[in-house]
Amino acid sequence: MDLEKLLTDRLGPAFATAAGVPVNPVVRRSPRADFQSDAALALARRVGRPPRDIAAEVLEYADLADVCSVAEVSGPGFLNLTVADAALAGLVSALATDPRLGVPVSAEPETVVIDYSAPNVAKEMHVGHLRSTVIGDAASRLLEWLGHRVLRANHLGDWGTPFGMLIEHLADLGEAEAAREMSMGDLDSFYKAARVKFDADEAFAERSRLRVVALQGRDPMTLRLWRLLVEQSERYFLTVYDMLDVTLTERDFHGESSYNDLLTAVVEDLGRLGLLRESDGAACVFPPGSVGRDGEPLPLIVRKSDGGYGYAATDLAAIRQRTGTLGATRLLYVVGLPQRRHFEMVYAVAAQAGWLSPPARAVHVGFGSILGSDGRMLRSRVGGSVKLVGLLEEAIARATALARERNPDLNKAEAAEVGRAVGIGAVKYADLSNDRHRDYVLDWERMLSLDGNTAPYLQYAYSRIQSIFRRAGTAAPPHAVVSLAEPAERALAFELVGFGRVVGEVAENLEFHHLAGYLYRLAAAFSAFYERCPVLRAEEPVRDSRLVLCDLTARVLRQGLHLLGIRTPERM
């Protein structure tokens, strides 16, 4: 149990008795004591009594003796609470023997579908897909750890009209040559070459259009070529996932095409419910609340005028399947913020159709863009979109060079291992430590720095603790008596017992920068502790107590970083 909760449970009934109404005491960390509650101030107006009187009465009723060493009224009616050293030490001891580090398994496990990564076949993954992949993977790891059944849905863009020209281009090149080009990860030039031919060569364009018809008609020869494109791309994406250390596998590809057979049922359901309207030959739904800038209602196009189905229809079919067949109650869509409108409309229509009703709900886990140092959308030197693999290779190369420079004792293999963990970790952490709703600037110097809120700083803190234990020659004694006499010990203990609370909050809002910020504060508190409190040179029983603090810090750092998908090398 975390301290905010413990104190809230103690103060809540006391406030209720004093005020005669249920009150949330809103306990929070305080610069004046350890914690404070300002609830008496708001309450004073409601019940027409001076806040100091209310606060004093609350202290009479509240059962705080075993938790607080000091509980007093201050200023206009604040309650200042100082946690007793023994109480804090007791919580730390409980944590030391808890394999889950104070994070309970969810009392209401759910089936959660996480729609993330979702690159497009025969196209390079861009930095937007990087963000989706990194954030979605952290969400998967976190919710799985909390005991939910997590279904990863890699909603690959593997269907649609561009496939006509892509298949024709593939046929022109010959299968062997096409496979060679794509396996080198040169998806963009393949796509661009097809596009150029399509625009310049009318005969090719005509063939491409016929190809789309053949594809939609499930012509076996065409399907075979299409599958080749999909397989080559999937193989390439898997190499990127491997490099990125994400948990996505080939089993998680659920491409848009996998919903093809469900699309007619979607239209039938919507028709039966009377939700379809025709607009310029297309079958549309006008969900309530969706209006354009001109105030006109906005349609979600379910079936196009040529009879084809698009992006929206597929997303509707996916929701229908995820809640209906898979039994999911929480649907998460980790997709860039520009697609917000699309998802709002899709969710609204799915709700109207009865595919998304409580307890099932869908949430757009949106995110901003990655910017270059010029503050504009990240572009390569020649102006094109930045190739993801290139970016990751650069991160690893820079981190490996830094590792060798910082620690000449590392042999070549160790330096390569550290370089990979730190380089990839830095890229992911830069993403996850920023508020996902905002854009952020990709800054190599900053994200690889050993100072500040960075992956290397946290990884270094972890490895430093491992080196303490290497020197100690023993593990921390889990049942050691914890004592917290020094302010730096107390400050570290407060951070340690706060892990469960942060994890619980992030599981709800999926704002991983709060977890990152927490880990950073923890590492900083450890640094301050380690500067002021000798560990190995301390006398028993203080030495063992401090070893417990070291060990817990390392375990929380490792688990926290693991949830973010970041490795923790034992030495750096």
Q: Cis omega before residue 109 (within 30°)?
A: no
Beta partners for residue 284, in sequence order: 277, 301
Of the two residues 132 and 559, which places its CB atom closer to ligand ARG in the complex? 132
Show the binding pattern over residues 398-437: x = contacts ligand ARG (CB under 6 A), - = does not.
----------------------------------------
Q: Which of 38, 115, 158, 431 binds ligand ARG (CB under 6 A)?
A: 115
Count of CB atoms situated within 10 Å of the CB of 218: 10
| Nearest-approach distance from CB 156 to ligand ARG, in angstroms | 7
Size of the site for ligand ARG (CB under 6 A): 8
DSSP 3-state of 303: strand
- Which lies closer to ligand ARG via its Cβ, residue 226 or residue 518? 226
DSSP secondary structure string, 421-458?
Answer: HHHHHHHHHHHHTS-TTS-EE--HHHHT-SSSSSHHHH
Bridge-based pairing of strands 330-333 and 68-74 is: unpaired
Among 118, 146, 386, 392, binds ligand ARG (CB under 6 A): 118
Q: How far is the CB of 343 from ligand ARG (least distance, A)?
A: 8
| Rounded distance between C-alpha atoms, residue 525 and residue 62, angstroms | 31
**Helix (H) and strand (E) counts in the chain:** 21, 13
Distance CA 270, CA 276 (A): 6
CA atoms lying within 13 Å on the CB side of residue 98: 20
For residue 456 the two structure tokens come to 């290397």
Query: In the complex with ligand ARG, which residue's Cβ is closer, 116 or 469?
Result: 116
Q: Which of 51, 157, 423, 569 binds ligand ARG (CB under 6 A)?
A: 157
Give least dist CB 103 to ligand ARG, A: 29
- Rounded Cα distance between 403 and 420, Å, is 10
Supply the minimum distance, in Å, between the C-beta of residue 282 and ligand ARG: 19
Q: Does 120 bind ligand ARG (CB under 6 A)?
A: yes
Give the nearer residue to ligand ARG in terms of CB position, either 256 or 551. Answer: 256
Token couple for 32:
């004046």
As given in the structure block, the two tokens for residue 395 are 């991160």
User: Residue 541, Cα to own-chain centre: how many angstroms?
Assistant: 41
Which CB sits closer to ligand ARG, 115 or 417? 115
Identity of the residue, 62 or 346, whose beta carbon is nearer to ligand ARG in the bound complex: 346
Of 113-121, 487-495, 522-530, 545-553: span binding ligand ARG (CB under 6 A): 113-121
Site for ligand ARG in 348-387 (CB under 6 A): none
CB atoms within 10 A of CB 231: 14
- Helix or strand or coil: residue 163? helix
The verdict on 25 binding ligand ARG (CB under 6 A) reads no
389 sits in the region (left: phi over 0; alpha: psi -120 to 50; else beta) called alpha
Least distance in angstroms from the C-beta of 459 to ligand ARG: 31
Q: 335 or 563, CB closer to ligand ARG?
A: 335
- Which 491-550 positions form the footprint of ligand ARG (CB under 6 A)? none
Given the complex with ligand ARG, which of 326 and 401 has the nearer CB atom?
326
Which residue, 235 or 342, has its beta carbon nearer to ligand ARG?
342
Return d(Cα 553, Cα 547) in angstroms, integer.
10
User: Reduced to 3 states, what is the DSSP secondary structure of residue 500?
Assistant: helix
Q: What is the CA radius of gyration of the chain?
A: 28
Distance CA 153, CA 372 (A): 30
How far is the C-alpha of 15 from the C-alpha of 37, rounded, in Å? 11
Nearest residue to 234 (alpha-carbon basis) of 247, 223, 248, 244: 248
CB of 234 to ligand ARG, least distance (A): 14
* 113 scored as a contact of ligand ARG (CB under 6 A): no
First to last CA, the chain: 34
Q: How far is the CB of 184 from ligand ARG (least distance, A)?
A: 21
- Give me the least distance between CB of 116 and ligand ARG, in Å please: 8
Phi-psi label, residue 58: left if phi above 0, alpha if psi -120 to 50, beta otherwise: alpha
Which span (115-123, 390-398, 423-431, 432-440) binds ligand ARG, by CB under 6 A? 115-123
Q: Is the peptide bond before 359 cis (omega within 30 degrees of 0)?
A: yes
For the CB of residue 264, give the shortest distance to ligand ARG in the complex, in Å.
Answer: 19
Query: Please, which residue, 115 or 551, has the CB nearer to ligand ARG?
Result: 115
| Contact stretch for ligand ARG (CB under 6 A) within 114-122, 190-198, 347-355, 540-548 | 114-122
Contact indicator for 444, 402 with CB cutoff of 8 Å: no
Nearer to ligand ARG, 321 or 433 (CB): 321
Question: Is 202 exposed, middle or buried, given 0-12, 13-18 or 19+ CB atoms closer than 10 A?
Answer: exposed
Tokens of 148: 């939910």
DSSP 8-class letter at 543: H
Nearer to ligand ARG, 81 or 318 (CB): 318
CB 346 to ligand ARG: min, Å: 8
The two structure tokens encoding residue 165? 């020209």
* Residues 326-345 contacting ligand ARG, CB under 6 A: 333, 335
36 vs 120, which CB is nearer to ligand ARG?
Answer: 120
**Per-residue x/- marks for ligand ARG, 285-324, CB under 6 A?**
------------------------------x---------
Q: Left, alpha or beta for 394 (phi > 0: left; psi -120 to 50: alpha)?
A: alpha
Residue 256 C-beta: closest distance to ligand ARG, Å = 8
Residue 383 structure tokens? 């102006």
Cβ 387 to ligand ARG shortest distance, Å: 15
Out of 131, 155, 322, 567, the only residue in the binding site for ligand ARG (CB under 6 A) is 155
Specify the stretch interacting with ligand ARG by CB under 6 A; choose among 78-86, 112-120, 359-367, 491-499.
112-120
Q: Which is nearer to ligand ARG, 154 or 433 (CB)?
A: 154
Binding site for ligand ARG (CB under 6 A): 115, 118, 120, 155, 157, 315, 333, 335
